[in-house]
Amino acid sequence: MSQQPVLFLKDASIFQRENLILSDVSVTVDKGEFVYLIGKTGTGKSSFMKTLYGDLPLQKGEGSIVGYDLPSLKENDIPFLRRKLGVVFQDFKLLNDRTVHNNLLFVLTATGWTDKGRMENKINEVLDKVGMKTKAFKFPYQLSGGEQQRIAIARALLNDPELILADEPTGNLDPQTSVEVMEVLQEINKNGNTILMATHDYALLLKYPSKTLKCDENQIFEVVQTTV
């Protein structure tokens, strides 16, 4: 029997307040896939991502993500949904007043972890996955942009997410650093994590070809690499 997709939308519409941003969205992401979401600025990539992590309601159509039904998602469900998602943003969103270690500890505590030993092991494990084990005692402002994004990826991995949503994760990085961060995401994907990544960066698409969804003229459709 085939597995349930990690993400599934059928005839969905994405709104910002009363403004229709995307319509007739039918998308499937299966476990283990690496999927790009591309499109010009203002075509709705962020709105789409926000709908997936519960920041915008799905007002029309069907959809489920990591086992949550999106149209019936309640405010109270959102923290639990987000524990099953790892979200990575363009601007990292690390807490500057505490070390890398304490940024990660903060998330573990906030998501219900209590066993100190297990928490330390988990922090080590995720830092190791992004090649940042030696930087645990640095403050975010002591790190380069690429290093901060690696920490943000480590943070996204803390609760073993079923899906990682990365919204322009290389948007603030130079081309070489973008490739380094992309290598981390590729490695994580090879190890079994499912990733949906919104990006403007066509050079990355060419270097790391994968399934690609495009936002254009209020629609999302799958494109083959030669036509992006």
* Binding pattern for the stretch 179-218 against ligand ATP, x by CB under 6 A and - elsewhere: ------------------------------------x---
Q: What is the DSSP string of 121-142?
A: HHHHHHHHHTT-GGGTTS-GGG
169 in contact with ligand ATP (CB under 6 A): no
**Binding-site member from 16, 109, 111, 144 for ligand ATP (CB under 6 A):** 16
Nearest to residue 210, comparing CAs of 33, 91, 85?
Answer: 33
From 13-21, 73-81, 124-132, 149-157, span contacting ligand ATP (CB under 6 A): 13-21
| Nearer to ligand ATP (CB atom), residue 91 or residue 160 | 91
Residues of span 36-95 touching ligand ATP by CB under 6 A: 39, 41-47
The CB-of-43 to ligand ATP minimum distance in angstroms stands at 4
| Nearer to ligand ATP (CB atom), residue 21 or residue 152 | 21
**Tokens 């081309």 sit on residue:** 175
Distances (CA, A) of 63 to 13, 54, 67, 77: 10, 12, 10, 15
**Binding-site member from 6, 7, 9, 21 for ligand ATP (CB under 6 A):** 21
Residues of span 99-128 touching ligand ATP by CB under 6 A: none
3-state DSSP percent of the chain in helix, strand and coil, to 5: 40, 25, 35
User: CA angle 88-68-40, nearest 5°?
Assistant: 45
| H or E element at residue 52 | helix 45-52
CA dist., res. 65 & res. 28, Å (int): 10
| Nearer to ligand ATP (CB atom), residue 38 or residue 65 | 38
| Nearer to ligand ATP (CB atom), residue 8 or residue 15 | 15
CA dist., res. 158 & res. 152, Å (int): 10
- What residue ranges bind ligand ATP (CB under 6 A)? 16-17, 19, 21, 39, 41-47, 215
